[in-house]
Amino acid sequence: MKLLYFAWLKTKTGISEEEITPPEDVTTVGALLEWLKARSPGHGDALADLGAVRVAVNHEYADHKDPVSPDDEVALFPPVTGG
Amino acid sequence: MKLLYFAWLKTKTGISEEEITPPEDVTTVGALLEWLKARSPGHGDALADLGAVRVAVNHEYADHKDPVSPDDEVALFPPVTGG
Amino acid sequence: MIRVQEEDFDLGAELAALTRGKTSVGGLAVFVGLVRDMAGGDAVKAMTLEHYPAMTEAMLERIDAEAKQRWPLEDTLIVHRVGRLLPGEQIVLVACTSAHRQAAFDGCQFLIDWLKTKAPFWKLEDGPIGAKWVEARASDDEAAKRWKTKTDAG
Amino acid sequence: MIRVQEEDFDLGAELAALTRGKTSVGGLAVFVGLVRDMAGGDAVKAMTLEHYPAMTEAMLERIDAEAKQRWPLEDTLIVHRVGRLLPGEQIVLVACTSAHRQAAFDGCQFLIDWLKTKAPFWKLEDGPIGAKWVEARASDDEAAKRWKTKTDAG
């Protein structure tokens, strides 16, 4: 699974992109986020307030209950501020 | 009193501008319009449907009950269509 | 600023002048009206815009002042052409700059809606059966009504 | 058309290209967003726009298609810049042409409202105490909500 981090999620994790292999029971966005929190202190900090984190799976906005699978590209970012 | 005619009011009266001296009892826009109707067949034609005629007195939109006086500039025109 | 003129305007230059050096501006909203080649199902060969110069200026100044009073606008621009225009030509430009996007949009829509129902311009369309004065549209009156306030005299 | 680029855009040339030779166009509505020198009371020295390229393109295409489905638009244009920008610089351009003024205005407002809440761009402001990620504004969410339809999935 390919993970991308943008804006302050990138700053806090110190990572812009990483390949991960979560356990087999991580099949939803929500479960993935919980599992990522423990990956490093930076991840824990970045994901402390999940209400401030938006998730896209394969370039589509996704809810915590939406599925994720090993071939997905998952992006984590704050609410957008373009325009 | 200076009268100005625009758009089809100019076409129908055949006049773009004229100096007139209405009788002393013509003291409102409404009275002026009624008096003008009899001025020529062209005026009669142009003013046949007063609901389609807008009036400005000294560059301000005016109602039929608004006053007019000898020194005024009175313009007659259809609803505006600019922009 | 308001301007009535026969000659065409350079849209890019007009807009650049509105924002140049104004770093307090966050948004620019613009509307440009153009001559269409069709009107009510009939081909339009040309359009001639007549106006009542002294009143046009007075009304545009008032419309402009009203917009600036209702919204926090940095600048406004109204340029309206008169005379004979061909399909595809620019007729009118209205533009507003503001720190905030919604004020710029609202000011811009207000300016064109009020201009269309209050400023003394008239269009003569040159179509297949000769020249015809364009009739005012109820939809323009409706559009202008949404900006009506309780204290608005007309 | 949609475009994401680092370089500045020539507003006049972009708009001229939208209307050139299109005599069916009666109205052009435009919004340009610019970098302000102040944000929330703090001076802004510069702003850096980051984005998520693959998703940006997908979202902008979708926003654009949605606007064309909702209103009778002749053409649309979205140009969004990324990278480091200084106060006074252009950030974004959205423009719609239509036979009718209200469709052009509505399409234009819809495009910028949806872009601001859906397209994956983030602003990093360089201010008096260093760089700070700009926070999303509730007013932008409210502005986007007015375009919500019953069938709109999000």
Q: Is residue D154 over pLDDT 50? A: no
Is C52's CB within 8 Å of B4's CB?
Answer: yes
On whether any CB of chain D is under 8 Å from the CB of C136, the answer is no
Strands C42-43 and D42-43, by their bridges, are unpaired
pLDDT band at C153 (very low <50, low <70, confident <90, very high): very low
Q: Is residue C105 over pLDDT 70? A: yes
Mean pLDDT of B61-75: 98
Is C32's CB within 8 Å of D26's CB?
Answer: no
- Half-sphere exposure at residue A52, Cβ-oriented, CA atoms within 13 angstroms: 14
- How high is the pLDDT of residue C152? 59
pLDDT band at D7 (very low <50, low <70, confident <90, very high): very high
Q: Is residue D152 over pLDDT 50? A: yes
- In this complex, the chains that touch C, judged by 3 or more CB pairs closer than 8 A, are B, D
Residue C90 in tokens: 């620019």
Q: Cα distance from C50 to chain D (closest Cα, Å)?
A: 19
Of D54, D80, D134, the CB nearest to A59: D54
d(CA B41, CA B80): 24
d(CA D73, CA D65): 11
Q: Cα distance from C117 to chain D (closest Cα, Å)?
A: 14
Burial class (CB in 10 A: 0-12, 13-18, 19+), C19: buried
Q: Letter for the amino acid at A1?
A: M
Mean of per-residue pLDDT scores for chain A: 97
Could you tell me if C43 and C127 are in contact, meaning their C-beta atoms sit under 8 angstroms apart?
A: yes
Of D33, D117, D124, the CB nearest to A80: D117
Mean pLDDT of D28-44: 94
Residue D17 in tokens: 């290209």
Q: Letter for the amino acid at C145?
A: K
- How high is the pLDDT of residue C154? 46
Q: Is residue D105 over pLDDT 50? A: yes
d(CA B26, CA B72): 13
Q: Which residue of D has its CA nearest to A57?
A: D55
Give me the percent of chain A exceeding a pLDDT of 70. Answer: 100
Q: Is residue A25 over pLDDT 80? A: yes
Is A79's CB within 8 Å of D121's CB?
Answer: no
On whether any CB of chain D is under 8 Å from the CB of C101, the answer is yes
DSSP string, D51-78: E-HHHHHHHHHHHHHHHHHHS-EEEEEE
d(CA B2, CA B57): 10
Rounded to two decimals, the pTM is 0.94
Task: Kindly tell me whether chain B and chain A come into contact, counting contact as 3+ Cβ pairs under 8 Å.
Answer: no
Three-state secondary-structure class, residue B30: helix
Q: Is residue D102 over pLDDT 80? A: yes
- How high is the pLDDT of residue C41? 86
Report how far apart the first and last C-alpha atoms of chain C are (Å, whole number): 23
Q: Cα distance from B83 to chain C (closest Cα, Å)?
A: 5
On whether any CB of chain D is under 8 Å from the CB of C45, the answer is no
**DSSP state, A28?**
B
d(CA B75, CA B29): 11
d(CA C88, CA C90): 7
On whether any CB of chain D is under 8 Å from the CB of A11, the answer is yes
d(CA D1, CA C77): 27
Query: Which residues in chain C touch residue D87, judged by CB atoms under 8 angstroms apart?
Result: 23
Is C36's CB within 8 Å of D25's CB?
Answer: yes
* Dihedral sign from CA coordinates of D138, D80, D28, C67: positive
d(CA D31, CA D5): 17
Could you tell me if D48 and D85 are in contact, meaning their C-beta atoms sit under 8 angstroms apart?
A: yes
Q: Cα distance from D94 to chain A (closest Cα, Å)?
A: 9
pLDDT tens, residue by residue, C4-29: 999 999 999 999 999 999 999 999 99
Mean of per-residue pLDDT scores for chain B: 97
Give me the percent of chain D exceeding a pLDDT of 90. Answer: 87
Q: Which residue of C has its CA nearest to B5?
A: C52
- How high is the pLDDT of residue D150? 64
CA distances from B49 to A43, B35, B45, B52, C47 (A): 77, 14, 8, 6, 25
Q: Is residue C143 over pLDDT 70? A: yes
Residue C84 in tokens: 């004979």
Q: Which residue of C has its CA nearest to D22?
A: C88
CA distances from C126 to B12, B81, C121, C123 (A): 18, 15, 16, 10
Is C123's CB within 8 Å of B11's CB?
Answer: no
pLDDT tens, residue by residue, C29-82: 999 999 999 988 889 999 999 999 999 999 999 999 999 999 999 999 999 999
The closest alpha carbon to B42, from B78, B81, B5, belongs to B5
d(CA D85, CA D153): 34
The closest alpha carbon to C108, from D99, D27, D111, belongs to D27
Count chain C–chain D contacts defined by CB atoms under 8 A. 106
Q: Cα distance from B11 to chain C (closest Cα, Å)?
A: 10
Range in B14-18, D39-43, D54-58 the model is least confident about: D39-43
Mean pLDDT of A47-54: 96
d(CA C77, CA B47): 36
DSSP string, D84-103: EE-TT-EEEEEEEEESSHHH
CA angle, C107 as apex, C103 and C108 as ends, to 5°? 120
Q: Cα distance from C129 to chain D (closest Cα, Å)?
A: 20
